[in-house]
Each structure stands twice: as structure tokens, then as C-alpha cells.
Amino acid sequence: MDNATTVIKGITPATVDLRGLVKRFGKDVVAVDHVDLFIERGELLTLLGPSGCGKTTILRLIAGLERPTEGQILIDDDDVSRLPAYLRDITMVFQSYALFPHMNVFENVAYGVRVANRPKEEIQERVAEALAMVGLQDFAQRATNALSGGQQQRVALARALVIRPRVLLFDEPLSNLDAKLRKRVREDIRELQQRLGITSVYVTHDQEEALAISDRVVVMHEGVIEQIGSPHDLYTRPASRFVADFIGSANFIPGQFDGQVIDVLGYRRRHEQDITPGAVTVMVRPEALEFAREGESGFEATYLSSAYLGPVTEFIFDVSGVEVFATISGSGISNAERGDTVLLRFKDVGVSLLPPG
Amino acid sequence: MSTNTTSHPSSTGMGLRYSGAWLPAAIAAAGFLALPFGRPGRPFLTIDPDLYAWAIGHPLLWFVLVGALAALVISLLKLPTAPRGDLLIGAGTVGLGAGVLWFLLTATPFGMGALVAFAGLALVIGHALSESGRVQGDAFIATSILVVSLFVLLFIIYPLFMVMRSAVVVDGAFDLSQFRRTITHPLFFFLENPRSQIDEVGLTMRWGVVVGLVSAAWALFRRRSLPLVLARLVLGGIVGLVIGAMMYGRGALPTSLLTVAIVAPACTLLGLAFALLGQRSSFRPVRRSLDVISVLPIITPPFILAFAMIFLLGRRGIITHGLFDLSVNWIYGIPGVAIAQILAFTPIAYLLLRGSIASLNPALEEAAQTLGAGPWTTLKTITWPLVRPGLAAAFLLSMIESLADFGNPIILGGDRNFLATEVYLSLTGRYNPNEAASYGVVLLALVLLAFFVQRWWLGGGSFVTVTGKPSSGALAPIPRAVEVALTAVLLVWTVFVAALYASIVVGSFAQLWGVNYTFTIRHYQDFMRAGWPVFLYTARVAAISAVPAMLLGFLVAYLVSRHRFWGRRFVEFGSLLSFATPGTVMGVAYIFAFNTGPWLLTASATIIILALVFRNMPVAIRAAVAGLAQIDPSLEEASTMLRARSFTTLRRVLFPLLVNTLVTGLIFAFVSAMTAVSQVIFLVSPGNQLATVLLLGWVEQGQLGRAAAMGTILIVSMLLTILVVLALAQRISARVVRVES
Ligand SMILES: Nc1ncnc2c1ncn2[C@@H]1O[C@H](COP(=O)(O)OP(=O)(O)OP(=O)(O)O)[C@@H](O)[C@H]1O
Ligand SMILES: [Mg+2]
């Protein structure tokens, strides 16, 4: 996507408002369970969660490919819950790209303009514009199965953009690409999305991908929203064990909090967080642990094992019955033996409190 | 509302400014006003001023106009889309309901005006169902769902209901006596024949006792519990009684059942043998010849082999008389009918079983053997469960075909009468509609019973998906001895069938079969004079019926496999019924349903076309379901997401990808319409004669020469049609696919 100056005229991004959205399949499957969500104009919001948590279903509900069992979907304050998909000014990029096999690249991209019965010149112009935007000007006459996975992905994107949607939906658009390409294409998508300022909802189960491209991330679990926040918020202040575990990895150590100071096995440390004082679970990222130096306070941990990984070493400790993982830079205690006792302390960031349990 | 320069002219960003229902509403109103609402008799296009709605002036009729005009006004109002849809549903339903009610009350045959008005109002409701959000999908989908459901109701469920009603309603009152009289009549069933030497009842009893005791003994031998042994005793006794009754009893019921009991297992076994050969034979010509065998029943009217058997095995048959100098009658009766049916239906069983044999993965059998299973255990635990659905389907289909078969028993039945022929004879020979309906109900009950037993045995599964995917692994060869035996069977079969077909061709050029074999084209001259116009008429009717059959089949397949909607089960069930119902039953059903009242359609080309459409729709459904299964649904969703309506999606995405399937479906619908007989024989009328019916008539009258000429022409022309059109389809789809590579 080298042509950074092309911008599609006429895209007017919309807001999306989901209110009390429920989707049941049959009697037993509740795919989406009372979801409330407001998506700002022009933001890229990611739905993140394990397989089967209802991400795709939410996307299809917004698109109009499924009907909600309960609740409303508003686009720019219009209730579209009962509006058929083709009237919603929304479009979607599919996981499988869904390129039409009997049409070449040009025809695929032209499809949306063609079915709207626009004049020939306009079709030519808009397809050229969209192809330029994704850097595929020279591929117009190619058959779609003569393209690489990344190129197919970009054709799918151009095909979606050409109709100037007010909301753009992505269902795991990168899952068919290899790891290296995935990183590049996701940067391209993010760059294009910001340039066009188009409201986008992006589904993935890859947490790194979610953190890298989103304005905000919604973490879902079994049809329910666990937490909404910026990537930074989610990582540093997860609202539940599930979120902490799903985004990055985390240790959960029981402790006490009096409103200002955390106490873990006698190790006391100042902390600011709005949470009911008393017994708490201390969430510590593995990289937020370090060895207490001479004279510093800390809590006792029993060394179990370690693995040297070059820049860091991965340790496993036992802290009063809880297994704790730590990634600590430098070799640290290379000569420790299983069962040795060490003193650990928290770093400044990467510690957060959760309700006990 | 933000300005959106690119959306459709009719939408304001989100939603529709006016409803698409305005056009059908206007058409409904115009049709109501400009065309006669009723018609005086059969012809459609007569314009009788007295039958205009405003001339009739019945208050109910004004509601039709009010409904249409209200729908027109509402659809142009500036209202939010969904509530406007609800209002439109109301207006459309009032109009349609009032009109239908009026017809039900007055029993006037419907006219063009009613047709246009009702079609318009149905379209209004379809649009409204979509716009109100009550059906998920656009106006096209909603209308299609509505129309397809109405068709199933009107042309499948309603006629069948009328048959059942006619069996038990006499002169407008519920009365079982007629039905009882029919099934106690000797034509239906009787056991003790006072004029015969043997004691039929006693023999039947003996069968009951013997089979009961044997099955109880077997249960004892397997050390079953006492209640189970007793149950086996009773069950075996009943089975024995049934066997005895079939063997010694006379009348249509035991005759048909005995024929089925011979034909269904024979077809299934032969079909299995051929499927094994076709998939695993080491000899290529064997596999090729099976491809030919599988096409034969499609291009041949079902009774043509019975007719040919007269040539070969009849009193003047070339084998019986010519070779052995016999003058025998044995082919008339159950043996002849059974042989003709086995020859006709084995290829159908073969087609069904080919899929299951192809899906047998040899790796599975090898895997079982490496896990320590012996050949017998492997057969029982791996092979059998995999072939079982195919065998059951083949058995069921042979059963249905045999029960429903009309042409073979009529030609070769001799002094035995069959259920399917009795339906016809009681209606057209004895002029007893009630009796015909009763036979129809029995036939229908037997077929449905077979269906549900099969379902129960297989535990669900859809009739559309009994085909299997071929596996890619190397095929295990069949044991040498078995292969030789099967090939011998196939050889005998092929020679016999070839001789039958050849005898028709030869017979068409021979002066007088069995007497004078000098060459003549006399029969073709006769055919040109008496048969050619009928042949052309048949081709026209078949062609006209093939297009809607294919489109409707495709639509049903598309709706059922791609959409969730209320009534989906009903549509599936309806198409299943039209597939399972014997043609003769559907034939009388159409007579009962469309002979009077608003639905006066009999004695017209229309009713023949309708019958053919709904008869052949299931074939198209199967083909389309198989084709759709190959296409990723996200292609259609992608099209929807690009704001294409579903009709555009069908036209631009599904149609091009399915050209081949559709053309094949079309051609099979055409060919089977050309060769159908059992249903349409009830519906032909002077001026609306069909080729197969005429052919059958000639055979019955003994005009074998010209019948052979017509048979030859029919078979050759169907074969050519299939070859040409399939080659064409290949070319078209090659062009579509070329873009891909
Ligand atoms: N058409 C359907 N019929 C029945 N159940 C469905 C249907 N579609 C989805 N489900 C169920 O709804 C739940 C949510 O499915 P969904 O596809 O939204 O998950 P997802 O979060 O996108 O998962 P993945 O990451 O695997 O794509 C699952 O339990 C799924 O089995
Ligand atoms: Mg998904």
C-alpha cells in the first residue's frame, strides 16, 4: 500500500451501538449474552476471545447476516435490528476472503459498484482507486487463484472499500497468512483504516494482533464481555483473572490491601488502585518480578527450576503453595539449587489487584 | 442522518424511502379491475363481462381491491421501514384472504384477474415480510419462501388430502362403508379359493406356525430371555402368515406385495453387485458398460422392457417360440412383471449404491484388520455400517418404484391385478372414484410405511444426501472368484437387456413380429400419421414443464440449504412427499383436487404441466443440493455484504458457478417428463394426449409394430438430447471456469 495519498472520497464513518444484544441458536446455545457496546466514529475496535466465545456472531449480527434474538443494533442512532443486510451500509472482509472464483480481480472489486448499477466510467474509476489503495494496480486482469494469500487478502479489502461502507467488519482476516506476512498486512490494514478514518470492528483470537492494531479491545468469554479498554489498560489493569490470563501471562498471588499498601507474605509495597480493601489477589506479570537486592525487602519464594533463553531466564518458583513464573533478565542465580529460598520483589509496572479467589 | 452519496436511490442512508411493494400492489389492483375474476368453464383466456369483479359485486371482492389499494398507498407513505412492513402484511393478507374466501364460498373457477390479483398480493406480502424483518432475507427470499410454501400446499399436500378425503367421504358425509367394501372386495384380497384344489387358509396357517416356531427356536438357541422368545414366536408367526397370504392369496394387495418381495431384494443385490464391479473391477470395459447401464432407465419409459419381453418371451416370442417352438403364457402375471421391474429398477439401485461403495475407504478395512479384527468382524463392524444406508436407500427406492409401477403390470399383469393398476382401472374402467381413492390411500400408506421404517432403521438422515464422497485411496480388488461370478451375472444381464432393446428396433422394421420378419417402414409411416403430432405435443409440454421444475427445485434446494425460516420443515416434507408418492396416486389426487370449483384445471395442458413440474421437482432438488454443497456459503454472504440483493447474488454468483448442475437438472427434468406415464395417464384428455400414454395404448391394443417404432424414436431422441445437451453444458461451464485459471 505504497500510494499513501489516495483517499476514497465519500466515506462517512458511523457509530455503532449494541444494546442488550442476545443471540441464541436453538434452545441451548447462547452465543451472545446481553452485550452492550458503543463503537466510536472512526475507531478500530477489536473483539478478542477464545474460540467459540461469540465474536463472529456479534460481527454477523452487526452485518445483518444474523438476526438478534433480543436487543438492538443502532447505526448512527438508526435502529437497524430488523433491516436486511444489504441496506445497512456495512461491509465485511471474510476469513476465507470469499473471492468469487469465476471473476478476475477487476470483476471482484467492481462487483459492489456494478450491482448498484453505476455507470461504466464510475466503475472503472472507483475500481482503479480501490486497487491503487491496496497497491494492486497492476493485477486487475489476474485470476484470483493466481494470487498469493496476501494479495488475495488485499483484493478482498479493496472489494470491501470500493462501496464506501460506513462500517467495516473483519473476521479474522489474517488467519490464512503465514506469521511473517501477518505482521505486515496487519500494519497495512491499520494504516489504511486510520487514513480513511473508517469505523472498523475486527475479530481475532490472537492477542498480540489485537493489542497491536486496536484503539480499543473487547475481551469476550462465553458470549459475555469481560472487559473493554485500550490495549494498555487491558494489559496493566485486567478486570478479571480471565482477562489477565488471556492477554499475556500472569501470576496470581494471594495478598492483603489496605487502600494504599499491598502486603504479600510480609512484603509491603505502595499501590494505587480503586478496589475494596481487604484480602485480594495480586496479579503479577512474569516480567514484573525481580530478585530483591541486598537490603531491599521482598517475599520468600522457593526456587524450582529455570530455563536460560538468552536475553532473559525463565524461572519457576513456589510462593507459599502457588507456582509463580518469572522472566528475569540476566543470569541472576545461575548456581541455585532446587529448594533454595530466594527473595523476590515487584517492579513498578505490571502489578494489579483483583478481587480474592 | 448523514448524507450518503453512494447508496441506492431508494434509500435514505438506512432504510427504504418507499416500499418495493408498491409495484405488485398496483399490478394486483389493475388485474382486479381490468381482467375477469372468474371464468365460465375450462378455457382461461375467455373474457366474460359477467365475471368481472365489479359485475359480480360481492362485498368480499371489494376487500380484495381495498387490500391492494391500501397496500399501494401504504407502500408510498414516508414511514419507518419495519412498521410500514407490518401494515403492508395486514393489507395484503386482508385482500388475499377475502379473495380466497370468496372462491371457497362460491366455488367459481378462478379467472385471469384473480390470478394476477393474488400473485400481486402474494408479492406484496413477500416484500412486507422482508421489510418488517419478520423473515430474515430480502423481498425475493421472503416471496420465494411464501410462494414455495403455497405451491407445496396447493400441488402436493392438498391433492393428497383430497385422495384421503375421497376415500372416506361419500356424498359429503363421512362414511367408511365404501372404503371397507373396497378392501374386503376379492379384487383387493381373498385367501380361500373354493374352486382351487388346495386349502389356502390351511397352508397359510402352516406357514405362520412354522416360521413362528423356527424364529422362537433360533431365539432359544441364542439363549435369549423367555419373554423375548415368546415375542419372537408371535412376531415370526405374523411374518409367516403374511408370507403365506402373499403366496396363496389373490387380489391386488398380495400380488403387489409378493412382487415387491421379489423385486426389491433382487434389485438391491444386483445393484450391489454392479456397484462392486463398477468401483473395483480390474477390467475396464466392465466399468464402462456400467456407465451405459446407469443411463438406460433415464431415457427409457419404464414399461418399454415389458413390451420388449413380449417380443422375446411372449407367445410368439423369438426365444420361446422361435428357439424352442413353445407357445407359452408364463410371462403374463407375477413372473413377467417381476422380471420387467428388476430390469427397469436395478440401474436405479445401482446408482444409489455406487455412492456408498465409492465412499468405502479400503484404509478403514485395513486399519480394522491391523487392530486384530478378522475378515468377518471387519465386514460386520466396518463395511456393513458404511454400506447399510446405501442398501436401505436402494431397497426402499426399488420398493417404491415396484409398488408404484403402472406400465409393466398393465402390459404383463395378465389375470393378476396390482394395486397401482387397480387405482387406474377403478377410476377409468369401473367409474368408481371412491374405490380409486381407497386403493390410492392403501398404496400411499404402504409407501409411507416403508419410508418411516427406513428412517427409523437408519435413524434420520436426509433423502437428499445418500450419496457418498469417493475416497482417493487405492481400491482393494474383489476376490477373483467373486469377481468372475459377478461379471458373469453382468454379462447375462447385458446380453438380455441388449436383446430386449434390439428387439424393439428390429420389431419396428418387421412386417409382423413372430410371423413375418420382412423389412418394412410401414410402422414408421403409421407412427408419423398417428403418433408424430402427439410426440411433438409431448416434447413441448415436457420442455415447458422442465424449466419451472428445475427453477423450483433449485429454489427449494437454495432456500432449504441456505436459509433458516419458519416452515422450512414443511417445505422439506412436502418435497419428500412428492418424491415418495406413487405416480398413480398423485394422478388420481390431481383428478380429485382439480376437477371442480375454483381449481377447475382438468382436461387441459396446464394440469399436465403442473403434474410434471411437481413430479420432477425432487430430481432437480437433489441435483441442486449436491451442487450447492460444493459452494462456500461465504461467497453469497460476501455478495450480500456488497449490497447485492439475493436475486442478484443468485444470478451473478450462484448461477455461473452452477451452470453445469442446472443444465443437467433441466435435461433430466425434460427427459423424465417425456418418459413419465403413471401420473399423467390420469390427466390426458382428447387433444392433450401424451406419447407414453399413446404408446402404452398401442401395446395394449396389440399394435406392436407402430409401438416399437414410437419406442425406438423416443429412446433415440432422448439419448441424443442427453448427449448433446451434456456436451453443451460442459462447454459452457468450461468457459465459466476458464476465467479461474
Ligand atoms: N449457525 C449456528 N447454529 C448453532 N450454533 C452456532 C451457529 N453459529 C455459531 N454457533 C455457536 O455459537 C457460539 C459462538 O460462535 P462464534 O462463531 O461466534 O464463535 P467465535 O468466537 O467466532 O469462535 P472462533 O474463534 O472459533 O471463530 C459457538 O458455541 C458456536 O458453536
Ligand atoms: Mg469466528
Cell of B602: 382438468
- Indicate whether B55 pLDDT > 60: yes
pLDDT band for position B262 (50/70/90)? very high
> How large is the average pLDDT for residues B119-130?
90
| pLDDT tens per residue, range B687-713 | 888 888 999 888 888 888 888 999 999
For residue B74, the SS3 value is helix
Domain boundaries, chain B: 1-134, 191-249, 254-415+468-518, 521-741
- Indicate whether A37 pLDDT > 60: yes
Instruction: Return the number of other C-beta atoms located less than 10 Å from residue A150's C-beta.
Output: 17
Residues that place a CB less than 5 A from ion ligand 2: A 56
Cell of B144: 420465494
Q: Point out which residues pair with B11 in neighbouring strands.
A: B16
Give DSSP secondary structure letters for B538-596. HHHHHHHHHHHHHHHHHHHHHHHHH---TTHHHHHHHHHHHHHS-HHHHHHHHHHHSSS
pLDDT band for position B741 (50/70/90)? very low
> How large is the average pLDDT for residues A226-240?
91
CB contact under 8 A, A94 and B740: no
- Residue B468 has what pLDDT? 38
**Single-letter amino acid code for the residue at A183:** K
Cell of A96: 476465507
Q: Are strands A90-93 and A16-25 parallel, antiparallel or unpaired?
A: unpaired
- Residue A279 has what pLDDT? 92
> How large is the average pLDDT for residues A86-103?
88
Give the whole-angstrom CA distance, residue B510 versus residue A116. 65
Instruction: Return the number of other C-beta atoms located less than 10 Å from residue B381's C-beta.
Output: 11
Q: Point out which residues pair with A216 in neighbouring strands.
A: A45
Per the prediction, chain B carries an average pLDDT of: 81
pLDDT band for position B362 (50/70/90)? low
- Indicate whether A188 pLDDT > 50: yes
| pLDDT tens per residue, range B622-657 | 888 888 888 888 999 999 999 898 899 999 999 888
CATH class for the domain made up of B254-415+468-518: mainly alpha
Q: Which of residues 121-180 of B touch A (CB under 8 A)?
A: 130-133, 136-138
- Residue A1 has what pLDDT? 38
Give the whole-angstrom CA distance, residue B592 versus residue B441. 13
- Residue B582 has what pLDDT? 87
- Indicate whether B16 pLDDT > 50: yes
| pLDDT tens per residue, range B324-336 | 666 667 778 888 8
- Residue B181 has what pLDDT? 82
Give the whole-angstrom CA distance, residue B410 versus residue B688. 21
Give the whole-angstrom CA distance, residue B164 versus residue B181. 16
| From A53, A170, A172, mutation site for ligand 1 pocket: most ligand atoms within 8 A of C-beta | A53
If you count DSSP H runs as helices and E runs as strands, how many of each does chain B have, helices first?
31, 4
CB contact under 8 A, A65 and B637: yes
Predicted model pTM: 0.82
Give the whole-angstrom CA distance, residue A240 versus residue A229. 13
| pLDDT tens per residue, range A128-178 | 999 998 889 899 998 888 888 889 999 999 999 998 899 999 999 888 888
Runs of H (alpha helix) within B429-479:
433-458
- Indicate whether B466 pLDDT > 50: no
- Residue B523 has what pLDDT? 86
- Residue B39 has what pLDDT? 75
- Residue A332 has what pLDDT? 59
- Residue A117 has what pLDDT? 87
pLDDT band for position B462 (50/70/90)? very low
> How large is the average pLDDT for residues B284-299?
75
| Cβ atoms of residues B191 and B203 within 8 Å | no
Choose among A63, A92, A98: nearest Cβ to B632: A98
Q: Point out which residues pair with A263 in neighbouring strands.
A: A256, A268
CB contact under 8 A, B642 and A111: yes
If you count DSSP H runs as helices and E runs as strands, how many of each does chain A have, helices first?
8, 20
CATH class for the domain made up of B521-741: mainly alpha
A31 Cβ below 6 A of ligand 1: yes
Judge whether A166 is closer than 8 Å to chain B, CB to CB: yes
Choose among A96, A104, A159: nearest Cβ to B739: A104
- Residues of chain B with pLDDT > 90, as a percent, come to 12
Q: How far is CA B591 from CA B446, B580, B599, B608, in A?
A: 21, 19, 11, 11
Judge whether B433 is closer than 8 Å to chain A, CB to CB: no
| From A46, A57, A222, mutation site for ligand 1 pocket: most ligand atoms within 8 A of C-beta | A57
| Cβ atoms of residues B636 and B78 within 8 Å | no
- Residue B296 has what pLDDT? 76
- Indicate whether A7 pLDDT > 70: no
- Indicate whether B132 pLDDT > 80: yes
pLDDT band for position A331 (50/70/90)? low
- Closest of B573, B292, B588, B311 to residue B436, by C-alpha: B588
- Indicate whether A80 pLDDT > 60: yes
Q: Which residues of chain A have a CB within 8 Å of the CB of B656?
A: 102
Q: What domains does chain A contain, in order, with CATH numbers?
A: 16-236 (3.40.50.300), 250-354 (2.40.50.100)
Give distance in angstroms: CA of A114 to centre of ligand 1: 32
> How large is the average pLDDT for residues B144-148?
91
| Cβ atoms of residues A45 and A202 within 8 Å | yes
Judge whether B5 is closer than 8 Å to chain A, CB to CB: yes
- Closest of B247, B248, B581 to residue B442, by C-alpha: B581
- Which residue, among B643, B650, B736, B738, would best test binding to A if mutated, counting the most A CBs under 10 Å from its CB? B643
Q: Point out which residues pair with A316 in neighbouring strands.
A: A305, A325
Least confident of B163-177, B229-243, B471-485, B555-569: B471-485
Q: Is the confidence metric ipTM above 0.90 for this complex?
A: no
- Indicate whether A26 pLDDT > 80: yes
Least confident of A171-175, B139-143, B273-277, B466-470: B466-470
Q: Do domains B254-415+468-518 and B521-741 have the same CATH topology?
A: yes
Residue nearest to atom 18 of ligand 1 (CA): A54
Residue nearest to atom 26 of ligand 1 (CA): A51
- Indicate whether B6 pLDDT > 50: no
**What's A227's DSSP letter?**
E
Q: Point out which residues pair with B516 in neighbouring strands.
A: B512
What element of type H or E holds B159? helix B158-168
- Indicate whether A321 pLDDT > 60: yes
For residue B11, the SS3 value is strand
Nearest ligand by distance to the CA of A48: 1
- Closest of B163, B69, B204, B161 to residue B434, by C-alpha: B163
How far the first Cα of chain A sits from its last, in Å, is 49
- Where are the extended beta strands (E) located within B279-395? none
| Cβ atoms of residues A238 and A285 within 8 Å | no
**Single-letter amino acid code for the residue at A110:** A
Q: Which residues of chain A have a CB within 8 Å of the CB of B635?
A: 98, 100-101
Sign of CA dihedral B330, B193, B245, B188: positive
| pLDDT tens per residue, range A139-153 | 999 888 888 888 999
Judge whether A161 is closer than 8 Å to chain B, CB to CB: no
| pLDDT tens per residue, range B551-597 | 999 999 999 888 888 888 888 888 888 888 888 888 888 888 887 76
Instruction: Return the number of other C-beta atoms located less than 10 Å from residue B150's C-beta.
Output: 12
> How large is the average pLDDT for residues B9-17?
52
- Indicate whether B71 pLDDT > 60: yes
> How large is the average pLDDT for residues B336-356?
86
- Closest of B699, B686, B729, B617 to residue B156, by C-alpha: B617
